[in-house]
A and B are shown apart, each in its own frame.
Chain A
Amino acid sequence: MLAAIGVMAILAVAIGLVLGWSAIRFKVEGNPLAEKIDAILPQTQCGQCGFPGCRPYAEAIAKGEADINQCPPGGEEGVKKLAELLGVEPKPLDEAHGTPKPKSVAFIDEQTCIGCTLCIQACPVDAISGAAKQMHTIIAAECTGCELCLPPCPVDCISMVPIAEDLPHWKWKHPVVMMKKIAETEGA
């Protein structure tokens, strides 16, 4: 009996030590809520929310310093997801921060580009390649469509091109016509 109690006591101490040690050793870095919010944000890094990127906005939301409806690229769906995560009522997008636009990528008119590198410095995701006095090109697969490269260009040679729907990007539409019919019958 005593031996059993002794064993249990030793075990308890040992496990306590292990748990205590691992709590320190494997401490979660950063703010887990901000982390979760950042995972929902679209990572366009456009700054329309009023913060210098998605991560700072996520941190501001986590601290309760910013509202959840300030990210136009995330759209209504993003607001809904944030509301769900935070357990609050979703609200319409705050128009003061802009409205959602169709997803686009930047395109440089290579005839006009003077190779000033100003756009390279503005791009938050290093999606522009080029060097001083040489023509610059956008890596379309990496461009988030944030439009931050447009204002610095001294010769206005960058334009935003909406992503065209092609076969690999095509997806089934919501069977809308049918839905209308159902709505009609349901309403009747």
Chain B
Amino acid sequence: MVVLDHVTMEYPTGTKALDNVSFRIKKGEFVFIVGSSGSGKTTLIKLLLKEIKPTDGEITVDDRVYSKMKRKEVPMLRRKIGVVFQNFRLLKDRTVFENVAFAQQVIEKPANEIRREVPGTLTMVGLADKYKQFPKELSGGEQQRVALARAIVNQPDIILADEPTGNLDPKNSLEIMTLLEEINKRGTTVVVVTHNKDIVNLMQKRVITLKKGKVISDEEKGGYKDED
């Protein structure tokens, strides 16, 4: 269960990226977050990862109250959350395999488990044959799949995906979304930030729409709200 309770995020520059946002996402839900550029979507993800602290309000994930968490507890929180960053954030000096394995090394998984689990994940995202390549040798869409593989390899309870289809053609976008839907069906909570109107309309999931940091609509089986 993810709960945002009157959350406001004002950056030191004075920009109010989120303004009094409240919603809850139940365990196992699939939610789209949509909104125009600068509406605060990435800020929302950063808050959920506890990368930044809200200036006001409270965030709770499962039983963890963010403002009450100790520094030491943060890594364990983040291990429950798999994240696909907006600009992938792959390691340029590591291969596809190493990039995915990295997520497991970081949480101190034994090497033999890593060797066993990474290939399966790469197969899931359709990159089994490119495991030796470096990020710069991949297309944008392929890089995005590596980022997704890295997010799901540890089987987190929650997946946060920031524009996971930003660089993909409709066919590949649908494939990635179908994959996320499959992961969701196995019980993982999935939160997808996207601009992809067609897919949002097609998939008929809950849609939270942000505008200038405010929630302007929150609908079950919603569609993409055009601006104005």
User: Do the two chains bind?
Assistant: no
A residues at B contact (CB < 8 Å): none
B residues at A contact (CB < 8 Å): none
